[in-house]
């Protein structure tokens, strides 16, 4: 007797695993749309694949259908998320599926978008297309946890990251390097998977960072730079300001004179006025709502101790990566301690030691 557990074959699982890998490879680069993977199979042979395009359009199903050089009549489509059925900036994927005469659609997870949720299932069934759902559901649901968070909360999914020396410093004027090259590569991977990266003007002025992804061949996928600077005290000669354009750099500020504002605008900076509290801090929840409207969905924050403490206390981070180095930094000149370590450990229920080949450095992931 068949059960729900065995309604999918080992081959079905293999094809969905491939679709999931396609979705994962485009994560963080599909704008306001979720990253989806799609595989089309005919006579037990993969005849086409597709994934959501950069910036979100066309969708994975559309790309897979267009990529096929074979007749799709009688084929099976495996897709990680329920296909769309609404008219937006692109035609519904259900229309393309019906038109191509695909005979069966297997998708893993039901979309939570009210324009789609369970509607595509009914539309495809009404056209005599066999539809199954739930294949690798737990694995794929885990992948879409950030997308579900975005849709439900209308906020970006926020990742925190900080590097700490053996003697608990996050900055030393005489010895700025904390982690090794292997740990640095993980940071650049996080940047590649994030569409935006936030720091304070203090971090910018201290470190003059580039905030880009420096993995080979991936520099063009660097995140947008978000700077918190309530009085526009950012160094106008910094790398970030001199490499800015209208689409890659945003500064949140509160008060500044006209000449300051003009200087930054001439550099191509997007200036966004926002409220501060009586301690001179931005209301981070208002900022996150504004960033969501700017299509920010995966935000990485590389803050210092002060910003990290404020965000931890306000429960802003969805997850946090703590880098710990075996290296001691110099205290002979200006330096900064990481005073929020105990706060970080108290705030999170899950602590995962990432098993990465980082030499004498280690990275711990904290999650709720």
Question: Which helix (H) or strand (E) is 172 found in, with range?
Answer: strand 169-172
pLDDT at 260: 93
Per-residue pLDDT tens over the stretch 21-54: 999 999 999 999 999 999 999 999 999 999 999 9
Q: Give the pLDDT confidence score for residue 251 in this predicted structure.
A: 97
Q: CA-CA distance, 171 to 337, in Å (whole number)?
A: 7
The length of the chain is 368
pLDDT tens, residue by residue, 333-344: 899 999 999 999
pLDDT of residue 175: 87
Q: What is the structure's pLDDT at 2? A: 36
Q: Which helix (H) or strand (E) holds 42?
A: strand 37-42
Q: Which of 292, 287, 267, 260 is nearest to 276 (CA)?
A: 287
Long-range pairs for 175-180: beta carbons < 8 A, 24 or more residues apart: 175/329, 175/330, 176/207, 177/327, 178/323, 178/325, 178/327, 178/329, 179/323, 179/325, 179/361, 180/325, 180/358, 180/359, 180/360, 180/361
Non-local CB neighbours of 296 within 8 Å, separated by 6+ positions:
156, 195, 196, 224, 226
pLDDT of residue 61: 97
Spell out, as residue ranges, where the chain has pLDDT lower than 70: 1-6
For residue 265, give every residue at least 6 positions away whose Cβ sits within 8 Å of its Cβ, in sequence order, or none. Answer: 271
Residue 115: CB partners within 8 Å, gap ≥ 6?
84, 85, 86
Other beta carbons within 10 angstroms of residue 121's beta carbon come to 21
Which residues are known catalytic residues? 61
Closest CA to 160 of 39, 337, 310, 336: 310
Name every residue whose Cβ is closer than 8 Å to that of residue 150 and which is 6 or more positions away in sequence: 156, 157, 292, 297
Q: What is the pTM of this model?
A: 0.93
What pLDDT does residue 6 have? 56
């Amino acid at each position: 007797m068949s059960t729900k557990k065995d309604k999918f074959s080992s081959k079905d699982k293999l094809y969905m695993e491939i679709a999931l890998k396609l979705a994962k490879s485009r994560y963080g680069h599909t704008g306001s749309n979720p990253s989806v993977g799609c595989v089309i199979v005919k006579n037990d042979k993969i005849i086409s694949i597709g994934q959501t395009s950069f910036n979100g359009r066309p969708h994975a199903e559309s790309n897979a259908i267009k990529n096929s050089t074979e007749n799709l009549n009688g084929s099976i489509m495996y897709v990680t998320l329920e296909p769309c059925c609404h008219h937006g900036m692109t035609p519904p994927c259900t229309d393309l599926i019906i038109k191509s005469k695909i005979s069966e659609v297997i998708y893993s997870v039901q979309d939570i978008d009210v324009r789609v949720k369970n509607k595509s299932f009914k539309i495809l069934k009404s056209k005599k297309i066999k539809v199954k759902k739930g294949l690798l559901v737990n694995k794929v649901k885990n992948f879409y946890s950030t997308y579900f968070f975005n849709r439900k909360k209308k906020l970006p999914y926020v990742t925190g990251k900080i590097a700490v020396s053996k003697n608990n410093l996050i900055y030393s004027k005489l010895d700025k390097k904390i982690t090794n090259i292997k740990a640095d590569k993980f940071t650049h991977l996080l940047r590649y998977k994030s569409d935006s990266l936030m720091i304070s003007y203090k971090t910018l002025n201290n470190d003059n960072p580039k905030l880009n992804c420096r993995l080979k061949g991936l520099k063009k996928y660097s995140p947008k730079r978000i700077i918190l600077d309530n009085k526009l005290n950012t160094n106008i000669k910094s790398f970030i300001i001199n490499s800015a354009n209208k689409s890659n750099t945003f500064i949140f500020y509160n008060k500044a004179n006209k000449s300051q504002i003009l200087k930054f605008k001439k550099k191509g900076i997007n200036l966004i006025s926002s409220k501060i509290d009586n301690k001179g801090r931005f209301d981070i929840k208002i900022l996150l709502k504004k960033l969501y409207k700017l299509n920010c969905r995966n935000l990485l924050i590389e803050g210092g101790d002060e910003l990290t403490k404020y965000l931890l206390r306000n429960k802003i981070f969805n997850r946090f990566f703590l880098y710990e180095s075996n290296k001691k930094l110099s205290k002979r000149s200006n330096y900064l301690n990481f005073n929020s370590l105990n706060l970080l450990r108290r705030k999170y229920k899950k602590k995962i030691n990432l098993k990465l080949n980082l030499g004498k450095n280690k990275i711990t992931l904290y999650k709720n």
